[in-house]
Structure 1
Amino acid sequence: MTNRDVSSPRRWLFVLTILVGSFLLFLVQPMVARMVLPRLGGAPAVWNSAMLVYQALLLGGYAYAHWLGRFAVRRQAAVHVALLIVAALWLPIGIASLAPPAPGQEALWVPLLLLASIGPVFFAVSAQAPLMQRWFAADARAGDPYYLYAASNLGSFAGLISYPALVEPAMPLATQSWLWTAGYGVLVLLVAASGAARWRGEAVHETEGVAAAEPRPTLRRQLHWLLLAAVPSGLMLSTTTHLTTDIVAMPLLWVLPLGLYLLSFVIAFSTAERLTQIFTTIAPAVLLSVGGLALLSTSGGTMLVAFAALAMQFIVAVALHGYLYHLRPATQHLTLFYLVMSAGGVLGGLFAALFAPLLFDWVYEHPLLVLAAAMLLPLPALFPWDKWAKLSPATARTIVAALMGVAAFACWKMVQLWLGRIEGEVAMWGVLLFVIGLLVIGWRWAFVLALAMLMLGVGGWDTLQESFTGNRVRSYFGVYTVTDYPADNQRRLAHGTTLHGLQRTDAPHRLEPTTYYGHQSGVGLTLDKAEMLAGPDASVGLVGLGAGTLSCYRKPGQRWTIFEIDPAMAEIARDPSKFTFISECAADVPIVIGDARLQIAKLPPAQFDILVIDAFSSDAIPLHLLTAEAIGIYARALKPGGVLLIHISNRFFDLEPVLSTEARARGWSAAIRMDSSPDDVTAPEDIGVLTGSNWVALTATPERLQQLTGGLKPREDSKADGVWVPLKQRPGFQRWTDDYASTLPVLLWGHLIGNRE
């Protein structure tokens, strides 16, 4: 096994097989996520649930590979190729026909749907990586098989990135599925060829040599593997949730934490030991500087903060996976190692995706996993001052204890200053606590304690206190916080750190519309004309509830129906101790819980005179609500002469071409009302209350649009009060459908760097 012959027969074959299998494995994940979008929506929790399914299937595949490894290679090859052929019965990739979930059951239904849709295929493909490494090692000349795991994760990273960048923009889902099926066929042939190349090989544990005599790793060592694998996996998911909840809803953000997670394996399991050591050395400092912000919940951040969080996840993952690689066993225990490692991935995923949303009212899993990383990281001292001063261990411990006393005082000062909103002095004490953390890196208990103090001092105490007020709830779809601002006479609803609703608390203005919904907005202009457009008994449908602000546009005699996907949001809006829009203006209006597209499709045709689509959550696009099939469902639900109104305000996407292309395809008329930004508000009492917004109105006839808008104005007049202008056209833009839709053509690349609104 020590004679490493780089020209060993068929080495290239195993590398190619692993690359192709891993590429297909991580190409199918976003592809299936895109397929289920019309049925699930795009909440971060949906992706976390999907990741949990993928990790569970990966664990199953690794367990199967571990079991299969006891046989001779020829039997392993025969069984595995047979399994791949049977799994091909689930091809081409498609979505199983399951009844939609009951409200509140999404966390269980999503995994069930994915298991039924791609479970056998994903299971079979996931097993090939450890099997190929085991078959590779059956030839004594092949050398260490663990480096192939780096190739495996490189293929996974390529598959993941290529989907949004190359595959999705270039072809519809049906074509994607058939091409993936062709790739699967190539993989089956490569696996069969790899099996043939080692046909006479025995089970690896039967090979001769010193390494084969290594005893089975102890339970303690296996538990260490489990934890070293669990923390980076959980941190990958918690970083996704933390970024989308509390920093910025950047498009395709979920790709970045997962991609960096995969790249961390590429570095850790390669021969780049020096690079891994560099990451391990700087990881504690990075945890202090970035992880110290992990309990902060009171304000959003810039893309720079988001990238810092991603950098921390990557550096910590490389350090932990590098330590895992350092603790790898001999080849005959290879599949056991990968089995335990995969179990750790599932454990981290279970904690971050399933248990945490049930246990916590905020994303506490993120700071907890940061602390867990601090407990597991190798901690090489950056400044070995005790060695420089030639201090005895007892003296060094005494100095460390004194430093921790200073750290505790600094933490207390930071909490007091933070509660007093004196952020400049908070930073000063924070720097002191950071320096202390650097000095005690060589003492794990002190380092972890310093990190926890830094978290508490930088907004953490505020975050913890909020959990005891009853003003914050967490659901499958997000974290919602209700906060009073007495000085401004306001009560605000935040989704993470994104404003989701606002009500004035001064009595004269209590029921006035706020944020995106003022009388000068597109929806305000339309609902104010509801009686003129459809008579005193106008029927109005509203998709997206928020705090219930729009309900106070309702007039006596009008029939309203509200659609809301999140039961927690409905409870907040209905609770008069939080917001009174619903209780005072629309207490008898039905609120239909569930995905709006599915719920509206169940209704008889011709239900609404006006249908308002306001389903955005921060800047995340409900893509499944903007396709041709979705607009067709809305059109069916509208009465003749009905008005469809869609809210498209967004910092990252220009959605005008989507709707202008759709209107042109249907022969409809369309206009957009681009409301003034908050800085343009002239009434002093509206400053900080009204928010700029873009609303698109679509009608089946130009006459109806004329009634609503009073005539369109040129685009250059778009900021004038009450003005509707034509939608922007983009020649050659491809119509969005359930089968084809890409967000890259409408991405505002220049907006990716900047402050939150």
Structure 2
Amino acid sequence: MTAAASPRRWLFVLTILVGSFLLFLVQPMVARMVLPRLGGAPMVWNSAMLVYQALLLGGYAYAHWLARFAVRRQAAIHLALLLFAALWLPIGIAQLAPPAPGQEALWVPLLLTASIGPVFFAVSAQAPLMQRWFAADASAGDPYYLYAASNLGSFAGLISYPALVEPSMPLAAQSWGWTAGYALLVLLVAASAAARWRGAAATPKAAEADAPRPTLARRLHWLLIAAVPSGLMLSTTTHLTTDIVAMPLLWVLPLGLYLLSFVIAFSTLTRLTMTFTVVAPAVLLGVGGLALLSSGGGSMMVAFASLAMLFVVAVALHGYLYHLRPAPRHLTLFYLVMSAGGVLGGLFAALAAPLLFDWVYEHPILVLAAALLLPLPRLIPWDSAFGLAPRTANVAVVLLVAVAAIAAWRMVGDWTGRYEGAAIGWSAVLFVIGLFVIGWRWAYVAVLAMLMLGVGGWSTVQESFTDMRVRSYFGIYTVTDDPYRHQRRLAHGTTLHGLQRTDAGHEYDPTTYYGHDSGVGLALDRAPAEAAVGIVGLGAGTLSCYRKPGQHWTIFEIDPAMVAIARDPAKFTFLSHCAPDTPIILGDARLEIAKQPPGRLDVLVIDAFSSDAIPLHLLTEEAMGIYARALKPGGLLLVHISNRFFDLEPVLAEEARARGWAAAIRMDPGPPREDGNLTGSNWVALAASPERLAQLTGPLRPRDKARDAGAWVPLEGRPHFDRWTDDYASTLPVLLWKHLIGGRE
């Protein structure tokens, strides 16, 4: 009997699809659930991914251990485990005390493990286990194609969450829906066990029985090949979610492509896999050559190119892994080592790298590791075309690498932070040489490293030998001087996060989004002399220079690294000069404001959107209720909603409508382009009464006059817009698709 006609093949495929769908549907779902407690930092998702990979490894180890028994005993043990794990249903978040500042990296894995650990562990084992049960039938054939089905189910689970589940269902309904899916999975596993209950001959075929156990070297090779795409997936995620938005829609893109690469590599699409393998070295040169670029790398074009590189390289490496697969007898060992490789890559990218590096050096390191492991079929067989002997070809390669070294040296000297003139020419030379030396691994890796250093990499490395860049759990902050514009700048990732003028007499002028004509500038200039003011988000400390004598200010900041930067007079002097005694409360602002006495603040400023990421938990009904409690009856709430990719007006407009608040927006266009100290900004003001709002805004103006100095206009909502709550919030309705596709404005 052929594999195509093997008994109950459809049942095993369906069981694997359902289990994998549930496994990867729960990942973004739980990440969404923990947003009110953890915020939207990219490292939260990376920490979550590390937990998932560790639990997946545990599930694969359990499946490998279980494979030593007869199928009947395996089924009894596994079904008992599935029923025990059901005690953790429906899915919810464990009630643990919040972490102390700086302890998030350890607390996040603990919270997620306590919340879904047993369920995730039990479900993660079913893919290798079902393949093992499938292969127990002597006529079943090669079970490895089922791994492609497994990853297809995983991909479907990931994509369906942001596209279908999150926009249409509140979290409580999502949790109960997942529980129903889990019940279906238990029934399918029981049916699969019944299908092999009688004919479960665990005796392998003669050819399989003679298959030797894979050597230690082969297992280490599997481990490394599996580790690199896993690490690349996380480092690509860090880039995307730092400069766009920390939400499941973009969290799942790198992971979804990573899973889709398994679908292609472990399927019967051999020619397609070979195509990816042939083009992967060239793609790695073209996109991986930008991996050390720390300025100007935040465009959507670079982001999409990084995703393309991840996908192509992952298909090539996973195809190579499939080529090195053992006989089905050692199937669970193979998947166990693969899973261990995934955890190894995750440990490096999510845990070790933030502690070891002050920048995302894990990304170029993983790119180079991919170059060391990729198959390197000749893209341009120039040596055979010219009939060169191997020794002559090797000499030619040495000469080409020498030319590449000269080109890289010239690029380092010519690099100005932008692609201009000579830099474009020299990078083209390096890229072409890289194409010619594919096939000579040492030369290919050397040219790729030179390209990285030439395209902005040298300046990135040099910054690490200063104290002007720091990395924390929440991001990478770089302080730079621009002597021509007389500025000191603070960047979060690739986005300007603060600026102080260095020309005499203007050091304490408000800059960037906080000028006197901005919404927050107008509000703080008019705040009473003895007002109590709360500021959420410290930045470089620019707003502190609005403090007047007699006012009582409190600043809420989640990142200790940001506090250290703002308080260091060698970096920025806003805080030390204007408000040195202002208390700074460390921790998540929503949680910390909830601890404050009620009715204490006259003005509360929410400016916590680092880069263009949106911490959803700061804009929900529950969060607004916390702010309202902290404000006096006549208090004023200011929310900064400047964003390249999301229109947040409807969110706040619906919140104001539901609460009966008055709301207006100040859309400050900023100064002419020649003034590089101020930028345009959008600030929303909300108050419980129109009279209090009118004290700030005066008569509201029509939208066509919104750009007049000091003009406030009515906040515009949308019909049928759903209010954001902790239980339901979808960013798809407010996504500016044209900006997402077109990049920065």
**TM-score bracket for the superposition, by shorter chain length:** over 0.9
* CA distance in 1 between partners of 2:737 and 2:445 (Å): 39
1:347 aligns with 2:344: yes
Q: Partner residue of 2:539? A: 546
Q: Please list the CA deviations of residues 661-720 of structure 1 after superposition, one character each: whole Å capped at 9, or x if unmatched.
A: 1111111111111111444x7xx6xx1111111111111111111111112112222111
Q: Partner residue of 1:193? A: 191
Q: Give the letter for the 2:688 counterpart.
A: A
* CA distance in 1 between partners of 2:417 and 2:552 (Å): 48
* CA distance in 1 between partners of 2:556 and 2:200 (Å): 62
SS in 1 for 2:550: coil
Q: Give the letter for the 2:514 counterpart.
A: Y
Q: Give the letter for the 2:584 counterpart.
A: I
SS in 1 for 2:453: helix
Shift in alpha-carbon separation, 1:170–1:60, aligned structure 2, 3 A: same
The counterpart of 1:181, out of the listed 175, 179, 190, is: 179
* CA distance in 2 between partners of 1:592 and 1:332 (Å): 58
1:426 aligns with 2:414: no
**Cα offset, 1:244, TM superposition:** 3.9
Q: Partner residue of 1:601? A: 594
SS in 2 for 1:499: strand
The counterpart of 1:469, out of the listed 466, 469, 480, is: 466
Matches within 5 A, 1:313-352: 313-352=310-349
The counterpart of 1:121, out of the listed 119, 122, 125, is: 119
SS in 2 for 1:643: strand
Q: Any conservation in 1 of the 2:298–2:494 contact (CA below 8 Å)?
A: no
Q: Partner residue of 2:137? A: 139
Q: Partner residue of 2:385? A: 388
* CA distance in 2 between partners of 1:212 and 1:235 (Å): 37
**Cα offset, 1:255, TM superposition:** 1.5
**Cα offset, 1:203, TM superposition:** 6.6
Q: Please list the CA deviations of residues 42-66 of structure 1 after superposition, one character each: whole Å capped at 9, or x if unmatched.
A: 1110000000000000000000000
Q: Partner residue of 2:714? A: 726
Q: Please list the CA deviations of residues 519-559 of structure 1 after superposition, one character each: whole Å capped at 9, or x if unmatched.
A: 0000000000101xxxx211000000000000000000000
Q: Any conservation in 2 of the 1:610–1:642 contact (CA below 8 Å)?
A: yes
Shift in alpha-carbon separation, 1:737–1:420, aligned structure 2, 3 A: closer
Q: Partner residue of 1:647? A: 640
SS in 1 for 2:100: coil
1:521 aligns with 2:510: no
Q: Give the letter for the 2:161 counterpart.
A: Y
Matches within 5 A, 1:352-751: 352-419=349-416, 423-531=420-528, 536-679=529-672, 687-751=675-739
* CA distance in 2 between partners of 1:209 and 1:128 (Å): 27
Q: Please list the CA deviations of residues 210-254 of structure 1 after superposition, one character each: whole Å capped at 9, or x if unmatched.
A: 122201000000000000000000000011113344x65586322
* CA distance in 1 between partners of 2:416 and 2:644 (Å): 31
Moved more, 471-480 or 699-708: 699-708
Q: Partner residue of 1:88? A: 86
Q: Please list the CA deviations of residues 395-438 of structure 1 after superposition, one character each: whole Å capped at 9, or x if unmatched.
A: 11111111111111111111111159683101111111111111
> Any unmatched runs of 5+ in structure 1?
none
Q: Partner residue of 1:70? A: 68
Q: Any conservation in 2 of the 1:49–1:111 contact (CA below 8 Å)?
A: yes
Q: Any conservation in 2 of the 1:628–1:736 contact (CA below 8 Å)?
A: yes
Q: Partner residue of 1:220? A: 217
Q: Any conservation in 2 of the 1:302–1:753 contact (CA below 8 Å)?
A: no
* CA distance in 1 between partners of 2:594 and 2:46 (Å): 27
**Cα offset, 1:391, TM superposition:** 2.1
Q: Give the letter for the 1:228 counterpart.
A: I
Q: Please list the CA deviations of residues 69-98 of structure 1 after superposition, one character each: whole Å capped at 9, or x if unmatched.
A: 000111101110110000000000000000
* CA distance in 1 between partners of 2:6 and 2:508 (Å): 77
Q: Please list the CA deviations of residues 483-523 of structure 1 after superposition, one character each: whole Å capped at 9, or x if unmatched.
A: 00011010000001100000000121110100000000000
Shift in alpha-carbon separation, 1:203–1:237, aligned structure 2, 3 A: farther
What's the TM-score, normalizing by structure 2?
Answer: 0.98
* CA distance in 1 between partners of 2:250 and 2:496 (Å): 20
* CA distance in 2 between partners of 1:450 and 1:249 (Å): 34
Q: Any conservation in 1 of the 2:227–2:342 contact (CA below 8 Å)?
A: yes
Q: Any conservation in 2 of the 1:228–1:320 contact (CA below 8 Å)?
A: yes
* CA distance in 1 between partners of 2:513 and 2:65 (Å): 58
Q: Any conservation in 2 of the 1:73–1:200 contact (CA below 8 Å)?
A: no
> Any unmatched runs of 5+ in structure 2?
none
SS in 2 for 1:694: strand
SS in 1 for 2:636: strand
SS in 2 for 1:95: coil
Q: Any conservation in 2 of the 1:564–1:592 contact (CA below 8 Å)?
A: yes
**Cα offset, 1:753, TM superposition:** 2.1
* CA distance in 2 between partners of 1:353 and 1:114 (Å): 15
* CA distance in 2 between partners of 1:420 and 1:283 (Å): 27
Q: Give the letter for the 1:345 counterpart.
A: G
**Cα offset, 1:159, TM superposition:** 0.4
Q: Give the letter for the 2:616 counterpart.
A: L
Matches within 5 A, 1:128-277: 128-202=126-200, 204=202, 206-245=203-242, 248-249=244-245, 252-277=249-274
Q: Partner residue of 1:17? A: 15
**Cα offset, 1:8, TM superposition:** 1.5
Percent identity between the aligned chains?
79
SS in 2 for 1:561: strand
* CA distance in 2 between partners of 1:511 and 1:309 (Å): 39
* CA distance in 1 between partners of 2:184 and 2:345 (Å): 33
Q: Partner residue of 1:752? A: 740
Q: Any conservation in 1 of the 2:3–2:142 contact (CA below 8 Å)?
A: no
**Cα offset, 1:300, TM superposition:** 3.3
Equivalent residue pairs, number:
744
Q: Any conservation in 2 of the 1:565–1:593 contact (CA below 8 Å)?
A: yes
SS in 2 for 1:293: coil
Q: Give the letter for the 1:617 counterpart.
A: S
Shift in alpha-carbon separation, 1:420–1:149, aligned structure 2, 3 A: closer
Q: Give the letter for the 2:597 counterpart.
A: P
Q: Any conservation in 1 of the 2:515–2:678 contact (CA below 8 Å)?
A: yes
SS in 2 for 1:562: strand
Q: Give the letter for the 1:643 counterpart.
A: L
Q: Any conservation in 1 of the 2:245–2:614 contact (CA below 8 Å)?
A: no
**Cα offset, 1:200, TM superposition:** 2.6
**Aligned Cα RMSD in Å?**
1.3
SS in 2 for 1:120: helix
Q: Any conservation in 2 of the 1:600–1:634 contact (CA below 8 Å)?
A: yes
Q: Partner residue of 2:35? A: 37
Matches within 5 A, 1:284-303: 284-303=281-300
What's the TM-score, normalizing by structure 1?
Answer: 0.97
Q: Any conservation in 1 of the 2:601–2:631 contact (CA below 8 Å)?
A: yes
Q: Give the letter for the 1:671 counterpart.
A: A
* CA distance in 1 between partners of 2:298 and 2:592 (Å): 36
Q: Any conservation in 2 of the 1:232–1:316 contact (CA below 8 Å)?
A: yes
* CA distance in 1 between partners of 2:671 and 2:88 (Å): 53
SS in 2 for 1:304: helix
* CA distance in 2 between partners of 1:8 and 1:415 (Å): 61
Q: Any conservation in 2 of the 1:652–1:747 contact (CA below 8 Å)?
A: yes
